[in-house]
Structure 1
Amino acid sequence: MNAGDVAWILASSALVCMMIPALALFYGGMVGSRRILNMMMMCFGGASLVAVLWALFGYSMAFGNSVNGLGLIGDITQYAGLEPMLTDNPDASLPAALFTAFQLFFACVTTALVAGAAAGRMKFGAWMVFAGIWATLVYFPIAHWVFAFNSADGSVTGGWIANGIKAIDFAGGTAVHMNAGAAALALALVLGRSSGWPKMEHSKPHSRPLVLVGAGLLWVGWFGFNAGSALTAGHSASVVFLNTAVAAAAGLLAWALVERIRHGATTSLGAASGLVSALVAITPACGAVSPLGAVAIGAIAGAVCSLAIEWKFRLGFDDSLDVVGVHLVGGIIGTLLIGIFATDSAPNGVSGLLYGGGLTQLGIQSLATVAVLVYSFGLTWVIAKVVDMAMGLRIHEEDELRGIDIAAHSEFAYLTDEDPVNLGSAPRS
C-alpha cells in the first residue's frame, strides 16, 4: 500500500463526512427560523441511521459479490457486520476498512439530500423509517450497479452499469444526485404541498449567510467526494480536483448571469445554488473531460438549473428546497454531457461526440440515466406510500404553521422574549 494514497483517502473521507453538516447548514438556512432544527436533524438523523445500516448489511449489498452474477445486488451476507474489514488484504491498494468508510459517507450524504423535499412538513419518526427503508431498497442496490467494479482476478463480480454497459460515473451523478433527486420528487408528490404553498411567509429562507456558508463548505467537501473517488493521490485525482474547482465557479457565474438578465439582480441564494448545481453536474464527468469541458458543463448546469427550479410551480409539486431542480436536473446534465464533452486525454480515456467518439457513449449514458430514474422514482413512491399508510407522513397542520421545531423536537433555534424557556411538552411527531 502507498502511504500517500492511504493518507489522501483518509482526508477525502473526512471531507465527505463534512458534507453532512455542510448540507445541514445549506438546507437549514433556506427554511424558516422555526424549521431549521428539524431540517438539520433530518440530515444528521438520516445519515446516522444509514451509517449503522451500512455496517450491518449495506456495504455487502453495495459491494458484495453480485448475486447470481446479474449485477443487480451484492451478497448481503458477504461482509455483514464488517468483520472481514479488520483483516487487510496485503495485495490491496487501500485498506478495506478505509474504502468501506469512504463509501459509507456517500450513502449518508445521498440520503440526507432527499430530506430537502420534505422540509417543514414530515414527521421526524416517519422520516427516519423512510430513510432506513429507502437506503436499503434504493441506494444500496443502485450503488452496486454503479460503483461495484469486477475484481481484477475475477473473483468478485459487480454491478451491471459499471461492468456491463460501462457507463461513466466518476463519483456519483447517477447513484447519488439523480437518485436523490428522483426520490425527492416521489416523496414530495406523496407528501403533498405545504400549507399555504406556494406563498408561505412562515417558510421563507431565514438566513442567507448560513446558505452561503453551507455552500462553501460543500464546495470544499466536494474535492474529497470527487478527487477522492480516484482512490489514489496521483494524476487522476489532480485532474478531477481541477475540473471540480473550475466547474463550480462557472456554475455560480452562469446562474448569477441568468438571474441578472431575467430579474435584474444577482442573489446570494442564487449564487449558492449555482455553485451546488455545477458541482452536481461535474460529479459524474470530472474524470472524463478537460478543464474547458468542465467549465462548459458547470455553466450549462448553472443556467439550466436556474430555470428548472421554476418547474415545481408550473407542475404543482412542492419540492421545498429544490432537490429536483438542482440534483436531479444537474445530475442528468452532467451524466449526459459526458457523451458530448468526454476526451480520451482525461483519466477515463473515453471520447465523446465533440472528440470523435460518435454517439455511442451518449447512448450508454442515456441508458444508465433512464434505469436509475425509473427505479429510484418508482420504488421511492411505493416506499413513501407504504410508510404513509402505516404511520402517516405529515405533521398536524397547526404544527406546520407554527413551526415543526416545536412540534417535533420541543426546541426553538432562536429564543425571543416571547418564547417560553421550558416548553413543558414532549414532541408530538
Structure 2
Amino acid sequence: MPTGITLAQDAPTLSAANTGFMLICSALVMIMTPGLAFFYGGMVRVKSVLNMLMMSFISLGIVTVLWVLYGFSMAFGTDKGGVVGWDGDFLGLSGLGIVQLWDGYTIPVYVFAVFQLMFAIITPALISGALADRVKFTAWTLFIALWVTVVYFPVAHWVWGAGGWAFELGVIDFAGGTAVHINAGAAALGVILVIGKRVGFKKDPMRPHSLPLVMLGAALLWFGWFGFNAGSWLGNDDGVGAVMFLNTQVATAAAMLAWLAYEKIRHGAFTTLGAASGAVAGLVAITPSGGSCSPLGALAIGAVAGVLCALAVGLKYRFGYDDSLDVVGVHLVGGVVGSLLVGLFATGGVQSDAKGLFYGGGLDQLGKQAAGVGATLAYSLVASAVLALIIDKTIGMRVDEDVEVAGIDQAEHAETGYDYSGVGSSAGHSAALPAPAPAAPAAQDAATKKVDA
C-alpha cells in the first residue's frame, strides 16, 4: 500500500478498550488537581490553607465551562496561522456525534476533549502556588479565565494542535513539558514580578503547616501522573504508553533520591518536603521526554532534574522574587530540563524516529526543543505579567496588608481550616499549647528552604 493512502477497510474504528483506558486516564488526571491542592495546602501556614485549596479547586469549575464553550476549539480546532485553532463544530461541543472519532485514533472526540480538559484545568492551578497568602480570590478567578484564553489555549495549539507551529517544527512534548509546566512556571514568575513579595518575606518564618498533607498531595500527584503521561499516547495498542508509564516511575524515583542526596550534602538532613518536591520535579521533567527515551535515559533525566530543581528553589532568596511554593524552581526549571534533554536522550525508537545527540541525531532535535522552550517561556512570562498588571490596576490583585498578616482564609472565605473550639477551647487555644522543641538548624533550614543557595 503506497504511503499516505488509507483504504476504507483500514480506517480506524472505535476501540472499546482504548476508550475505556482513556476515560480512566482522564479520571486520573482529574484527581491530580485536588492532589495539587493538598500538596500546596500543606506547604502554607495555617491561616492560608483554605485559600490555597480553593485556588486549585476553583480551576475545576472555571476552566471546564470555558473549555466547553470555546477552549477546545481554540486548542484543537482547524489551524489558523500556526497560532490558534478554531472550529465551529467544537463550540459548545454541540456539533459532534457521540461515536465520532478523533482524527487518526480509535477514541471518540468527546473522550479526547475530556482528557485534554483535565490538562487545561491543572495548568493554571499550578501557578497558584507561587502566589500564596496574598491574592484576592476574585482577582484570581478572573486571572484564570483570562489566562487560559490568552495563554493556555493558544500554546496548547502550538504544541499539540495539527498545524501548530511547534507541532509542525517537530518539537517533542509528549505530555506537557512546554504547554503545561514551562507555561505555568513562566506565568508564575510573570505574576509575582507584578504583585511583589509577601509581608515578611525573608524575615518571618513561613514553614509548612502540615507535612502529612504535603506527602498526601505528592502521592496523589504521582498516582494521577500515570494517566497524565501514559494516556497522552491516546491508546494502548503499540507499547509506547507502557514505556511512558515505566519511565514516569523511573524518573520520579531517581529525582526524589537525587534531591534527597543533594539536601543531605547541602543541608545535613533528609526531609519529607524534599522527598515530595523531588518526586514532583521528576514527574515534571519526564512529562515531555518519557515517550522518546529509554528507561536508562529516564533515570538520567530524573537525576538531573532532582539536583537542578533543588538548586533552583534557592534562587528566589538570591534574586529577591517571592515564589511562595517553588513553582518556578520546580515546574519552570523541571520543564526546561525535561524538554531540552529530549535533544540528548531521544532514542528514535519509541514515539518517533527523532534521535538526540547521544544517539547519533546531532543537534537538530535539541535546537527544535530550545525553540519550543524559549517561545513558550517568553510568551507566557510577558502575557501573564500584562494580565496581572491589568487586573492589579483595575480591581486590585492583592489583599490588604492587614488581611495578609491576619490570615487570608477568614477575609476571603469566612472560614478557617482548623476549628480549635471543637476540642473544647477557644480559637486561641493553640496559643496556650506548649511550643514544639526547635528543630536542628540544618534540618529546619532544609525543610523550609530558607537557605540561600
Fold in common (TM above 0.5):
yes
> What's the TM-score, normalizing by structure 2?
0.88
**1:2 corresponds to:** 15
Alpha carbons 1:65, 1:78 under 8 Å: kept: no
**1:49 corresponds to:** 62
**1:79 corresponds to:** 90
Aligned-partner residue type, residue 247 of structure 1: A
Q: How many residues align?
A: 409
Q: What does 1:187-226 correspond to in 2, within 5 Å?
A: 187-201=191-205, 203-226=206-229
Tell me the alpha carbon deviations over residues 168-221 of structure 1, each in whole angstroms, 9 at most, x when there is no partner: 0000000000000000001111110000002333x4200001101110110010
Q: What does 1:299-338 correspond to in 2, within 5 Å?
A: 299-338=303-342
Judge which range, 393-402 or 121-130, deviates more: 393-402
Tell me the alpha carbon deviations over residues 308-353 of structure 1, each in whole angstroms, 9 at most, x when there is no partner: 0011111100000100000000000000000011101222332100
Q: What does 1:150-229 correspond to in 2, within 5 Å?
A: 158-163=163-168, 165-201=169-205, 203-229=206-232
Counterpart pick for 2:126 among 113, 116, 119: 113
Counterpart pick for 1:25 among 38, 41, 46: 38
Q: Which runs of 5+ in 1 are unaligned?
A: 150-157, 421-429
Aligned-partner residue type, residue 93 of structure 2: L
Aligned-partner residue type, residue 307 of structure 1: L
CA distance in structure 2 between the aligned counterparts of 1:86 and 1:346, rounded to whole angstroms: 32
Cα gap change, 1:86 to 1:78, in 2 (>3 Å): closer
Alpha carbons 1:55, 1:82 under 8 Å: kept: yes
Alpha carbons 2:89, 2:96 under 8 Å: kept: no
Shift of 1:274: 0.3
Q: What does 1:13-412 correspond to in 2, within 5 Å?
A: 13-67=26-80, 70-75=81-86, 77-89=88-100, 92-149=105-162, 158-163=163-168, 165-201=169-205, 203-234=206-237, 235-412=239-416
Q: Compare CA radii of gyration and give the structure with the larger one.
A: 2
Judge which range, 80-89 or 52-61, deviates more: 80-89
CA distance in structure 2 between the aligned counterparts of 1:228 and 1:199, rounded to whole angstroms: 44
Alpha carbons 1:57, 1:76 under 8 Å: kept: no
CA distance in structure 1 between the aligned counterparts of 2:202 and 2:35, rounded to whole angstroms: 26
Tell me the alpha carbon deviations over residues 382-412 of structure 1, each in whole angstroms, 9 at most, x when there is no partner: 0000000110011011111111101100101
Aligned-partner residue type, residue 381 of structure 1: A
Report the 3-state secondary structure (helix = DSSP H, G, I; strand = E; otherwise coil) of the residue aligned with 1:37.
helix
Q: Which runs of 5+ in 2 are unaligned?
A: 1-13, 429-453
Judge which range, 340-349 or 216-225, deviates more: 340-349
Report the 3-state secondary structure (helix = DSSP H, G, I; strand = E; otherwise coil) of the residue aligned with 1:34.
helix
Report the 3-state secondary structure (helix = DSSP H, G, I; strand = E; otherwise coil) of the residue aligned with 1:79.
helix
Alpha carbons 1:19, 1:218 under 8 Å: kept: yes
Alpha carbons 2:175, 2:232 under 8 Å: kept: yes
Counterpart pick for 1:419 among 421, 427, 443: 427
CA RMSD between the two structures: 1.3
Report the 3-state secondary structure (helix = DSSP H, G, I; strand = E; otherwise coil) of the residue aligned with 1:93.
coil
Report the 3-state secondary structure (helix = DSSP H, G, I; strand = E; otherwise coil) of the residue aligned with 1:412.
coil
Judge which range, 170-179 or 39-48, deviates more: 39-48
Judge which range, 21-30 or 408-417, deviates more: 408-417
CA distance in structure 2 between the aligned counterparts of 1:230 and 1:63, rounded to whole angstroms: 16
Cα gap change, 1:377 to 1:78, in 2 (>3 Å): farther
Tell me the alpha carbon deviations over residues 345-394 of structure 1, each in whole angstroms, 9 at most, x when there is no partner: 22233210000000000000001111101110011010000000110011
Aligned-partner residue type, residue 159 of structure 1: G
CA distance in structure 1 between the aligned counterparts of 2:412 and 2:305, rounded to whole angstroms: 36
Q: Identity, % of aligned pairs?
A: 52
